[in-house]
């Protein structure tokens, strides 16, 4: 039996929508995208910039540079309030509409693993599936300490509405395969498996056709259920290996990469163009014309929603990411970042009031990691850090399945995040 537990309406309304390019008038590029240290700006107000020019970087090892996604002029710096309460500095750029490439862009060349990892860092790649882990750190494991024999390509895309990875596989299957071979061969990884949910038949058909007669990359079709794409879940359901608390996939011989991430690497090593665009799905109840768009990073939601004929009067909630794990934007001027794969717009939601826990155990049955959310909630209310550790709250990946199934409408996943904070060193 797999670790995935719940079934949600897919609402993949855009699965047959080919990706359109969108060209914004302005962009707002955050100096912190995904995991890693915040970056320092490398440009000043009034500077002219070109597409692909590095505009933010840090000397910290656990960081990843950002590049300009348009050509034009830096109009200033703004601050972006994000849902965890922090404030992120952004570089605001007005596009000149020409999208002129930076003359600094050169096709990366490498002979050694070190040169490959350095080039991956310079590309600005963080995990494009949502977690935002810097790719050069993930790929720089020590094969003597943690030998890796399997590269799993995460093509599950289990969140409702989102079809951006699906469109990547359909529109760029050669890029997907090229990127997998690049990583697999450079890092000398024996096996590669594309793990994809069964609700993506056209992608499965196309990749199977492209890979026929070859043995180096396999396709594993997984059940369409949530949260199939969560890292620990997809590892277990693909190769039946368990990543322990505090462990990394490389500890069980696995590296997991998002399907759009490997496709990006294929293009980057052919052209030298860093991560400046993102394929996203724009959809939701109030969106008149749902679409898949390829947008320059930093494009604000307002422009995209208007392009997709959204009823702004009725829109009361804008989500960056999926319905289950996405985050609500404070306003429509929040920008698309490297880790966003959707902008979803919804009407006012009636939120049912919470009642007392009825001890039904639905939350325990729903948890893919076999945690006990109802017990975690009780321990959190008592500030009982020993109990929270014993209940392994730090394993919670915030998938939201427990909250989704709870008949008493307890905010279980949300409480788990607060409980994890309680255990953080002060």
Asked if 327 is part of the footprint of ligand SF4 (rule: CB under 6 A), the reply reads no
Instruction: Collapse the DSSP code of 136 into the 3-class scheme (helix H, G, I; strand E, B; otherwise coil) and give the result.
Output: helix
What is the C-alpha R_g of the chain? 21
Pattern 233-272, ligand SF4, x by CB under 6 A: ----------------------------------------
The position carrying tokens 């009725």 is 314
The number of residues that bind ligand SF4 (CB under 6 A) is 27
Helices (H) and strands (E) in the chain, counts: 13, 17
Cβ 94 to ligand SF4, closest distance in Å? Answer: 41
Asked if 412 is part of the footprint of ligand SF4 (rule: CB under 6 A), the reply reads yes
Contact with ligand SF4 (CB under 6 A) among 238, 397, 415, 419: 397
Asked if 413 is part of the footprint of ligand SF4 (rule: CB under 6 A), the reply reads yes
The residue among 170 and 396 lying less far from ligand SF4, judged by its C-beta, is 396
Cβ 152 to ligand SF4, closest distance in Å? Answer: 19
Contact with ligand SF4 (CB under 6 A) among 297, 399, 415, 419: 399
Q: Looking at residue 392, what DSSP letter applies?
A: T
Contact between 123 and 110 under an 8 Å Cβ cutoff? The reply is no
Q: How far apart are CA 19 and CA 172, in angstroms?
A: 11
Cβ 160 to ligand SF4, closest distance in Å? Answer: 16
Part in contact with ligand SF4 (CB under 6 A); list of ranges 44-52, 101-109, 200-208, 399-407: 399-407
Part in contact with ligand SF4 (CB under 6 A); list of ranges 150-158, 307-315, 381-389, 412-420: 412-420
* Closest among 53, 46, 83, 47 to 68, alpha carbons compared: 53
The residue among 67 and 410 lying less far from ligand SF4, judged by its C-beta, is 410
Q: How far apart are CA 124 and CA 260, in angstroms?
A: 14
Cβ 324 to ligand SF4, closest distance in Å? Answer: 9
* Closest among 154, 159, 164, 151 to 233, alpha carbons compared: 154
Give, for 66, the enclosing helix (H) or strand (E). Answer: strand 66-67
* Closest among 257, 6, 12, 14 to 125, alpha carbons compared: 257
Contact between 184 and 150 under an 8 Å Cβ cutoff? The reply is no
Residue ranges in 39-58 that form contacts with ligand SF4 under rule CB under 6 A: none
Q: How far apart are CA 81 and CA 389, in angstroms?
A: 31
The residue among 240 and 359 lying less far from ligand SF4, judged by its C-beta, is 359
Asked if 108 is part of the footprint of ligand SF4 (rule: CB under 6 A), the reply reads no
The residue among 255 and 374 lying less far from ligand SF4, judged by its C-beta, is 374
Pattern 356-375, ligand SF4, x by CB under 6 A: -xxxxxxx--xx-x-x-xx-
Cβ 255 to ligand SF4, closest distance in Å? Answer: 22
- Which residues does 204 contact at the CB level (< 8 Å), separation at least 6? 196, 198, 219, 221
The position carrying tokens 């290996």 is 241
Contact with ligand SF4 (CB under 6 A) among 265, 275, 287, 406: 406
Contact with ligand SF4 (CB under 6 A) among 61, 201, 247, 407: 407
The position carrying tokens 């020993």 is 386
Quick one: CA dihedral 146, 132, 43, 89, positive or negative?
negative
Asked if 419 is part of the footprint of ligand SF4 (rule: CB under 6 A), the reply reads no
Contact with ligand SF4 (CB under 6 A) among 327, 392, 398, 422: 398
The position carrying tokens 């319905």 is 323
The residue among 118 and 223 lying less far from ligand SF4, judged by its C-beta, is 223
Length of the chain: 426
Asked if 396 is part of the footprint of ligand SF4 (rule: CB under 6 A), the reply reads yes
Asked if 401 is part of the footprint of ligand SF4 (rule: CB under 6 A), the reply reads yes
3-39 burial code (b ≥16 CB/10 A, e <16): bbbbebebbbbbbebebeebebebbbbbbbbbbbeeb
The residue among 139 and 405 lying less far from ligand SF4, judged by its C-beta, is 405
Give, for 147, the enclosing helix (H) or strand (E). Answer: none
The residue among 6 and 51 lying less far from ligand SF4, judged by its C-beta, is 6
Per CB under 6 A, residues contacting ligand SF4 are 357-363, 366-367, 369, 371, 373-374, 396-402, 406-408, 410, 412-413, 416
């Amino acid at each position: 039996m797999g670790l995935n537990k719940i079934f949600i309406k897919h609402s993949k309304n855009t699965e047959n929508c080919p990706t359109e390019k969108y060209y914004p008038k302005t962009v707002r590029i955050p100096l912190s995208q995904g995991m890693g240290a915040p970056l320092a700006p490398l440009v000043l107000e009034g500077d002219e910039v070109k597409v692909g020019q590095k505009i933010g970087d840090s000397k910290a090892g656990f960081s990843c540079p950002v590049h300009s996604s348009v050509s034009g002029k830096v109009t200033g710096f703004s601050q972006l309030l994000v849902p965890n309460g922090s404030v992120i500095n952004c570089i605001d750029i007005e596009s000149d509409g020409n999208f002129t490439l930076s003359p600094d862009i050169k096709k990366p060349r490498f002979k050694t693993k070190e040169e490959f990892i350095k080039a991956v860092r310079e590309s600005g790649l963080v995990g494009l599936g949502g977690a935002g882990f810097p790719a050069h750190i993930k790929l720089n494991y020590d094969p003597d300490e943690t030998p890796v024999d399997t590269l799993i390509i995460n093509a599950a895309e289990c969140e409702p509405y989102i079809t951006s990875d699906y469109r990547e596989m359909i529109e760029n299957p050669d890029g997907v395969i090229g990127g997998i071979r690049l990583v697999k061969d450079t890092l000398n990884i024996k096996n590669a498996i594309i793990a994809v949910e069964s609700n993506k038949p056209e992608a499965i058909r196309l990749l199977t056709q492209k890979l026929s007669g070859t043995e180096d990359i396999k396709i594993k079709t997984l059940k369409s259920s949530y949260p199939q794409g969560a890292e620990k879940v997809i590892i277990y359901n693909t190769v039946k290996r368990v990543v322990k608390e505090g462990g990394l996939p490389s500890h069980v011989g696995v590296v997991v990469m998002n399907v759009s991430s490997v496709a990006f690497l294929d293009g980057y090593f052919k052209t030298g163009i860093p991560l400046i665009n993102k394929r996203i799905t724009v959809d939701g109840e109030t969106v008149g014309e749902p679409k898949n768009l390829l947008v320059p990073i930093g494009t604000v939601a307002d422009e995209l929603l208007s392009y997709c004929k959204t009823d702004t009067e009725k829109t009361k909630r804008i989500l960056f990411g999926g319905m289950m794990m996405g985050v609500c934007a404070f306003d429509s001027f929040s920008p698309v970042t490297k880790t966003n794969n959707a902008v979803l717009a919804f009407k006012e939601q009636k939120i049912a009031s919470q009642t007392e826990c009825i001890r039904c155990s639905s939350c325990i049955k729903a948890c893919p990691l076999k945690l006990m959310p109802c017990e975690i909630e009780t321990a959190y209310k008592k500030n009982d850090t020993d109990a929270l550790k014993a209940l392994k709250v730090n394993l919670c990946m915030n998938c939201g399945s427990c909250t989704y199934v709870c008949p008493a409408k307890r905010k279980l996943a949300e409480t788990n995040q607060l409980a994890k904070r309680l255990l953080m060193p002060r």
